[in-house]
Amino acid sequence: MKLLVVNGPNLNLTGLREPQIYGSDTLETINAELKKEFPDVSFEFFQTNSEGMLIDKIQAVQGEASDGVILNAGALSHYSYALRDAIDAIKKPVVEVHLSQVFSREEFRRTSVISEVCKGTVTGFGKYSYFAAAFALARLIKK
Ligand code: DQA
């Protein structure tokens, strides 16, 4: 089974920015731990600060490229209708993840415009949000 893990704007700073909110592990560490925890899954990791590049990557998920997507779109989750439409356009399951518990933070973070087109959402478990999403997709897809 192939899973694409996509991280959006500012997530390259994970481990450095607000560690009390986002944890002290870097994205590289989290990705390495994911590979270790799910040895049967073939992961592809992608991070960009650009909305356009993120949408291009989601659009490219057709065919055999990936069976599903784990997506932390960062702040784009809260307002990007273009990203929402891209997720809606592809036929693969996308799980929305957030490191922090977005519902216990600022008001604007309580809205996600992508949730309704995602298979599910995992928020608030730090790096384990990615693990939970991978577990669910691995069980759902069963390849
Ligand atoms: C985030 C939550 C977003 O509100 C924020 O803009 C991020 C990270 C999270 O992982 O908790 O960049 O997606």
Domain boundaries, the chain: 2-142
49 with 12: CB under 8 angstroms?
yes
Residue nearest to atom 8 of ligand 1 (CA): 74
Any catalytic annotation for residue 22?
yes
Q: Which fold has domain 2-142?
A: Rossmann fold (3.40.50)
pLDDT in tens, 23-56: 999 999 999 999 999 999 999 999 999 999 999 9
Task: Choose the residue to mutate in 100, 101, 107 for probing ligand 1, maximizing ligand atoms within 8 Å of C-beta.
Answer: 100
Note the pTM of the prediction, 2 decimals: 0.97
